[in-house]
Amino acid sequence: MSDGIYDNVIKTESEGMKTERVEMMVEIYESVDCVGDHDFRTETNIQQPPECTESDSVRIRSSRAALVCLVLLCVLLLTAVIVLCVYIHSNSSTNYTEETHQLLTNITNLIEERDQLLNKITNLTEERDGLIIKNKNLNERDRLRNELQICAVWTCYQSSIYYISNETKNWTESRRYCTDRGADLIIINNREEQDFVKNISGAAVVWIGLTDSDVEGTWKWVDGSALTSGFWASGEPNGGTRENCVVTVAVPKFPEWPGLVGWLDESCNQAYQWICEKNISQLMLP
Ligand SMILES: [Ca+2]
Ligand SMILES: [Ca+2]
């Protein structure tokens, strides 16, 4: 009897401990479920303790409140952005308008300045043209004055004027003297001109514009024309390649050679007087 009672007591105590263990496990599972997914508990049809349902409600309300606050904040932020954009746009438009006005003013000033410069250019051009005409007239006057001075020094004969030098030079320098004055060494075309040269040269030996420097024996005038007939002295030309320029002698230079009158070929490096000839028609050229 006592053993049965003892066994019953032990059995009762074991069952009580098992019951408490089961209740503790249930509480643990319930706590875990509350922390975890609420919907999962709903789907598994686990009965929720009153404390868990109230916590969820508080959290949902908090979430809703946070969501509302977030939406309001977004609306406020969007409103602020819109207001800021409108302000920037209006301010920029004002600045652009002022800048455009300033640029138009500058363009107008530049156009006026350009017109003034064009007027100045026109006036300067007219003044330049006037000075050019004035300078041309002065040059023409000086040219005519020089020609008159030349005519006072040079001798006129038929259609040409002639200048006989007092100094002596070689043939090349003598010719340069003539060309520097728009003339050239004399070209004797006929007997009358040869007699004219004889008269103005007197006893002088003078260079004339005849040479065979290019081709020995082929005599050419300074204008490039070939010699057709000449007034060579007796025995001339006789210098070969040593004597390629021509002088004319009006008076026998050596008594022993009385016939040495007319043209002689001479070394071009010899120094003699010279005669320049210029056609009257060249006086009219500038
Ligand atoms: Ca010769
Ligand atoms: Ca000779």
* Residue 268 CA to ligand 1 centre (angstroms): 10
pLDDT confidence tier of residue 14, bands split at 50, 70 and 90: low
Query: Mean pLDDT over all residues of the chain?
Result: 82
Q: Is residue 143 part of a domain?
A: no
pLDDT confidence tier of residue 24, bands split at 50, 70 and 90: low
* Residue 266 CA to ligand 1 centre (angstroms): 8
Q: Is residue 39 part of a domain?
A: yes
Q: Which ligand is nearest to the CA of 215?
A: 1
* Residue 183 CA to ligand 2 centre (angstroms): 26
* Residue 234 CA to ligand 2 centre (angstroms): 10
Percent over 70 (pLDDT), the chain: 78
Mean pLDDT of 208-230: 96
* Residue 249 CA to ligand 2 centre (angstroms): 12
Looking at 10, 43, 68, the residue that finishes a domain is 68
* Residue 23 CA to ligand 1 centre (angstroms): 155
Q: Is residue 144 part of a domain?
A: no
Q: Is residue 177 part of a domain?
A: yes
Minimum mean pLDDT among 38-42, 179-183, 223-227: which range?
A: 38-42
Mean pLDDT of 185-192: 95
* Residue 223 CA to ligand 2 centre (angstroms): 22
Is 203:226 a contact under the CB 8 Å cutoff? no
* Residue 184 CA to ligand 1 centre (angstroms): 20
Specify the pairing of strand 155-157 against strand 273-279.
Answer: unpaired
User: Which residues hold their Cβ within 5 A of ligand 1, which is an ion?
Assistant: 212, 244
Q: Is residue 26 part of a domain?
A: yes
* Residue 80 CA to ligand 2 centre (angstroms): 119
Q: Are residues 166 and 268 in the same domain?
A: yes
Q: Are residues 64 and 176 in the same domain?
A: no
Q: Is residue 273 part of a domain?
A: yes
What pLDDT shows up at residue 118?
Answer: 95
Q: Is residue 40 part of a domain?
A: yes
What pLDDT shows up at residue 21?
Answer: 56
pLDDT at 8 over 60: no
Amino acid of residue 246: V
Q: Give the chain as a 3 state SS string.
A: CHHHHHHHHHHHHHHHHHHHHHHHHHHHHHHHHHHCCHHHHHHCCCCCCHHHHHHHHHHHHHHHHHHHHHHHHHHHHHHHHHHHHHHHHHHHHHHHHHHHHHHHHHHHHHHHHHHHHHHHHHHHHHHHHHHHHHHHHHHHHHHHHHHHHHHHHCEEECCEEEEECCCCECHHHHHHHHHCCCCEECCCCCHHHHHHHHHHHCCCEEEEEEECCCCCCCCEECCCCECCCCCECCCCCCCHHHCCEEEEECCCCCCCCCCCCEEEEECCCCCEEEEEEEEHHHHHCC
Looking at 30, 53, 68, the residue that finishes a domain is 68
What pLDDT shows up at residue 171?
Answer: 98
* Residue 209 CA to ligand 2 centre (angstroms): 15
Minimum mean pLDDT among 181-185, 203-207, 254-258: which range?
A: 254-258
Among 78-87, 150-159, 252-261, top mean pLDDT goes to 78-87
* Residue 52 CA to ligand 2 centre (angstroms): 151
CATH number at residue 231: 3.10.100.10
What pLDDT shows up at residue 40?
Answer: 43
Q: Are residues 166 and 63 in the same domain?
A: no
The encoded tokens of residue 216 equal 């020995």
Query: pLDDT tens digits, residue range 133-187?
Result: 999 999 888 877 766 666 667 888 888 999 999 999 999 999 999 999 999 999 9
pLDDT confidence tier of residue 260, bands split at 50, 70 and 90: confident
Q: Is residue 104 part of a domain?
A: no
Count of structural domains within the chain: 2
Looking at 68, 97, 116, the residue that finishes a domain is 68
pLDDT at 218 over 50: yes
pTM for the complete prediction? Answer: 0.49
* Residue 237 CA to ligand 2 centre (angstroms): 5
Minimum mean pLDDT among 39-48, 62-71, 77-86, 254-263: which range?
A: 39-48
Q: Which ligand is nearest to the CA of 212?
A: 1
Domain span at 208: 161-284
Query: pLDDT tens digits, residue range 91-113?
Result: 777 788 888 899 999 999 999 99
Mean pLDDT of 263-279: 96
* Residue 171 CA to ligand 1 centre (angstroms): 13
